Amino acid sequence: MARILTKEIINKEDQEVELMGWVAVRRNHGKIIFIDLRDIGGVAQVVFVPKDNNLYQLADSLRSEWVVKISGTVKRRPTGMENLNLENGQFEIQANALEILSQSETPPFPLDTDGYEVNEDIRMKYRYLDLRRQRLQKNIRIRANVVKFIRDFLTGKGFLEIETPLLGKSTPEGARDYLVPSRLEPGKFYALPQSPQQYKQLLMVAGFEKYFQIARCFRDEDTRGDRQPEFTQLDIEMSFPQEEAILAFMEELYIEAVKKIFPQKRITEIPFPRIDYQEAMTKYQSDKPDLRKDKNDPDELAFAFIVNFPMFEWKETEKRWDAVHHPFTQPKVKDCAEFEKVFKESPGKILAQQYDFVLNGYEVGGGSIRIHDPKLLQAVFEAMGNRAEDVQEKFGHLLEAFEYGVPPHGGIALGLDRILAILLNEPNIREVIAFPKTGDGRDLMMSAPSEAQARQLDDLCLRIVKKDS
């Protein structure tokens, strides 16, 4: 007999079935034993009666989270005994065979709650148990559905999914890099990508025109509760776009995603507002305004685009001008000569073709039209205080590529974890990631980060120097 899932019993009335899963709950009512059997399809009630004493005694020995195989007949529940909270709640299985496949220790916390009341460090240490709870199972399934929708939508629009390297070169993009030492070239390092920014621009040079990737990204940032050392972003780049075309495309993607996957949600305003940066700062005192009409409504979604950002901001500690977002953004100038003239006169007044994507008061993505003129890109780098030789060392590959016929291009990157947390009304992004780090960047389940073995350090020609306390 082939195994079926608990959700499938609705089509098996009066038929013999075989189920496998975990014991969620066991209830002994004296002359009858009930268990709630849980699998990836949901939960089903199983009934054991004393007419078979051996089977009854074995059922009585069951404990929560034991893994079992059960055979029995699907029967309609007696009138008034249905469970309307379950899709299959009109049916139960009258067991005629039971096999214990695996026993379980008592879990360190209850699994029949949402889990918010449990200390997060304990949840992260036993994340494989935490993930058994219904709320997190639902979150991870919805995450998979969202990713599938995105892939199908973008592929249907002519975009090509292309993987870019995880081992690359350390280049300044705003945060600290995670460095990976090379064994074959001692003293040299790869860097894990903060984003696929340069690779996706090089794909435009290569002529692919429409690229996307569900990209893993890494940033060695200080402890922040709403961030993760590694995260997932939807990365999109296209050739020959106008800024508004990119915004309209993102609008179409998210309207359709909400409609298909979150039909209970309501979007406050369509089309999504385009708000000038200065207007946002003046009117809302924030470049991430929360435009919801009812901030207590968990189903209201207020999307907006913030546009016309300043290109540069003054870094007082470093006594230099720095890019508000990143240096690859096209400033709103005609050419390199105009940029150099305006920068010399008034750097703070230069605007960028940069846009942020905001949802319910949170920045969930950002993008820009990119510089495609190598002379202008060089000038922007130097305007930020970089020496010409340093620019060549760090970005020479990109500048050289731009000498071979690069199309105007632009794109956007969207934080998938953050968007999902908002859509699922979760308090932080850890609730929508299968195996997140703690708020301070540790993996308590694997005890990572951990010390390296002496042999590994020798292979890499590395030595650990302890800091003085």
Tell me the pLDDT band of 469, cut-offs 50, 70 and 90: low
> What CATH number does residue 139 fall under?
3.30.930.10
CB-CB contact of 348 with 312 (8 Å): yes
pLDDT exceeds cutoff 90 at 268: yes
pLDDT exceeds cutoff 80 at 206: yes
Query: How many domains does the structure of the chain reveal?
Result: 2
pLDDT exceeds cutoff 90 at 174: no
Q: Are residues 257 and 355 in the same domain?
A: yes
User: What mean pLDDT is predicted for residues 429-445?
Assistant: 94
In a domain, 89, yes or no: yes
Tell me the pLDDT band of 247, cut-offs 50, 70 and 90: very high
Give the H/E segment covering residue 152: helix 134-156
In a domain, 232, yes or no: yes
Q: Are residues 246 and 353 in the same domain?
A: yes
Q: Are residues 78 and 137 in the same domain?
A: no
Name 315's bridge partners: 320
Q: Are residues 156 and 53 in the same domain?
A: no
Tell me the pLDDT band of 440, cut-offs 50, 70 and 90: confident
Q: Are residues 234 and 91 in the same domain?
A: no
In this structure, of 25-29, 142-146, 463-467, the range with the lowest mean pLDDT score is 463-467
| Structural domain for 289, as ranges | 128-432
> What CATH number does residue 48 fall under?
2.40.50.140
In a domain, 108, yes or no: no
Q: Are residues 69 and 175 in the same domain?
A: no
Return all residues near 193 (Cβ < 8 A) that are at least 6 apart. Answer: 164, 165, 166, 168, 199, 215, 216, 217, 218
pLDDT exceeds cutoff 80 at 173: no
Q: What CA–CA distance (Å, rounded) separates 124 from 327?
A: 37
CB-CB contact of 215 with 151 (8 Å): no
User: What mean pLDDT is predicted for residues 156-184?
Assistant: 90
pTM of the model: 0.94
In the block, tokens 């064994």 appear at: 183
- Give me the chain's average pLDDT, please: 95
Closest CA to 14 of 98, 91, 96: 91
Q: Are residues 223 and 314 in the same domain?
A: yes
